[in-house]
């Protein structure tokens, strides 16, 4: 081996060692920056998200969130959600879990005359609930649309069909639309055909509406869903070195975020629902990130929960802890004036949904925007 070859090998080895050392140093700094941020003793807005009514903030997507054209808002929503290893040990201040006051909502029947195509089944004789449940078990969906049944008890009231009940009439309902599509002719035909088979077993007469009318109603409802399918995102961007993903996600879990089975990080609303979600915007293979995205699914969160204000309060808290900046999807800092404007537009958005008898966060809205 010549002296030149030996020199080249030595130089190559030094370069490789240098690159590895630099990467390890960057990873170490990223992890330490997150640990320092979440072990500080300053006020933690994450632990008081329910008290943000006086500090409304928000973010915007690249399409302007406009009262005249809400359907453009959804286009820029961040879709990447990551489930990362959260085994890293993080030192956090002791704090009580995030608490949200439950919002009372009247129990609603699963067949909804506004968003379902309903078909009454007139029974010639009362039926036991056990027989009805056994017959309808196989008809829960047609295509991508849900199917529900309710029964009129022999005492007169309509209710969810239960074992032990006795029913003198039934009503079946298939959902007219959801985020994906409107009920189509094939789905409706399948629903009617399978319902007739059940009706034959019950010696019942289904009152089937005209398909043309049903399709028109389905398209109209789907147009509403498209118009009000709004998602708002806000980002926290690092001002310096990127953050360690595993350390960051472990800390976020301790601050109240839940990791869902599909990998999403979500902030629960305290009543079984979700206020907003969070994405690290990186793949499972990456160890650091320099940008977090918080996302509010507007029509499925009741305005009484102030998901908008809670999300902005959380973003501001994260930016303070992590030495970051709250920015829009174009990486421009979000000014208070812009946040206030979006807050006002959200009020009009919620008022329009209320006027349509599909309030944001209601059972109807949750079914339609799924």
Q: HEC states along 309-339?
A: HHHHHHHHHHHHHHCEEEECCCCCECCHHHH
Query: What range does the domain containing 255 cover?
Result: 32-103+229-358
DSSP 8-state assignment for residue 177: B
Is there a single domain that holds both residue 86 and residue 125? Answer: no
Is there a single domain that holds both residue 263 and residue 155? Answer: no
Is there a single domain that holds both residue 219 and residue 233? Answer: no
pTM summary value: 0.71
Residue 111 inside a domain? The answer is no
Q: What is the count of structural domains for the chain?
A: 2
Q: Which of the residue ranges 32-41, 100-109, 154-163, 345-354 would you say has the lowest mean pLDDT? A: 100-109
Is there a single domain that holds both residue 61 and residue 141? Answer: no
For residue 176, the model assigns a pLDDT of: 98
For residue 265, the model assigns a pLDDT of: 93
Residue 168 inside a domain? The answer is yes
Helix, strand or coil, per DSSP, at residue 290: coil
Is there a single domain that holds both residue 346 and residue 253? Answer: yes
- If we measure between CA atoms, which residue out of 50, 41, 71, 75 comes closest to residue 61? 75
Residue 19 inside a domain? The answer is no
For residue 250, the model assigns a pLDDT of: 86
Residues 6+ apart with CB under 8 A from 34: 90, 243, 244, 247, 248, 251, 322
Is there a single domain that holds both residue 239 and residue 324? Answer: yes
Residue spans of alpha helices (H) in the chain: 3-38, 129-136, 185-202, 211-227, 245-254, 307-322, 336-355, 363-368
Residue 129 inside a domain? The answer is yes
For residue 24, the model assigns a pLDDT of: 58
Is there a single domain that holds both residue 213 and residue 270? Answer: no
Residue 242 inside a domain? The answer is yes
Is there a single domain that holds both residue 141 and residue 193? Answer: yes
Rounded Cα distance, 346 and 358, in Å:
15
Is there a single domain that holds both residue 201 and residue 237? Answer: no
Label residue 259 by pLDDT band (50, 70, 90): confident
Residues 6+ apart with CB under 8 A from 277: 81, 264, 265, 266, 267, 294, 295, 297
Is there a single domain that holds both residue 235 and residue 332? Answer: yes
Is there a single domain that holds both residue 340 and residue 234? Answer: yes
Residue 353 inside a domain? The answer is yes
- Residue 341 maps to which CATH number? 3.30.1400.10
Mind listing the pLDDT tens digit for each residue in 319-359? 999 999 999 999 999 999 999 999 999 999 999 999 999 99
Is there a single domain that holds both residue 255 and residue 292? Answer: yes
Residues 6+ apart with CB under 8 A from 255: 38, 44, 46, 47, 92, 95, 98
**Rounded to whole angstroms, what are the CA distances from 104 to 87, 271, 302?**
37, 10, 11
Q: With 60 as the cut, is the pLDDT of residue 132 above it?
A: yes
């Amino acid at each position: 081996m010549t002296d030149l070859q030996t020199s080249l090998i030595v130089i190559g080895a030094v370069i490789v060692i240098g690159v590895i050392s630099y990467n390890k140093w960057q990873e170490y700094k990223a992890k330490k920056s997150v640990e320092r941020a979440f072990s500080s003793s300053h006020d933690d807005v994450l632990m008081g998200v329910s008290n943000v009514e006086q500090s409304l903030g928000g973010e915007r997507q690249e399409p302007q969130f406009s009262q005249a054209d809400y359907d453009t808002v959804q286009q820029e929503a961040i879709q990447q959600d990551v489930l990362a290893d959260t085994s890293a040990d993080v030192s956090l201040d002791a704090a009580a879990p995030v608490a949200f006051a439950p919002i009372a909502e009247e129990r609603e029947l699963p067949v909804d005359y506004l968003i379902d195509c309903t078909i009454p089944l007139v029974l010639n004789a009362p039926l036991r609930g056990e027989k009805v449940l056994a017959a309808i078990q196989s008809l829960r969906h047609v295509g991508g649309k849900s199917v529900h049944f309710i029964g009129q008890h022999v005492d007169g009231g309509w209710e969810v069909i239960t074992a032990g009940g006795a029913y003198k009439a039934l009503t079946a309902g298939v959902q007219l639309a959801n985020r994906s599509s409107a009920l189509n002719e094939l789905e409706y035909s399948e629903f009617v055909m399978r319902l007739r088979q059940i009706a034959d077993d019950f010696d019942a007469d289904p009152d089937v509406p005209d398909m043309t009318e049903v399709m028109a109603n389905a398209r109209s409802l789907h147009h509403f869903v498209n118009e009000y399918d709004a998602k708002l995102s806000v980002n926290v961007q690092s001002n310096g070195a990127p953050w360690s993903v595993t350390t960051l996600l472990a800390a976020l879990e301790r601050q109240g975020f839940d990791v869902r089975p599909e990998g999403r990080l979500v902030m629960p609303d305290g009543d079984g629902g979700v206020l907003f979600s969070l994405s690290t915007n990186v793949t499972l293979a990456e160890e650091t990130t320099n940008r977090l995205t918080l996302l509010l699914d507007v029509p499925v969160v009741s305005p009484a929960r102030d998901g908008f204000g809670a999300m902005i309060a959380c973003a501001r808290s994260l930016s303070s802890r992590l030495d970051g900046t709250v920015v829009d999807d174009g990486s421009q800092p979000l000014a208070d004036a812009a946040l206030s404007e979006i807050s006002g537009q959200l009020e009009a958005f919620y008022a329009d949904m209320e006027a349509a008898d599909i309030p944001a966060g209601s059972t109807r809205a949750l079914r339609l925007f799924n």
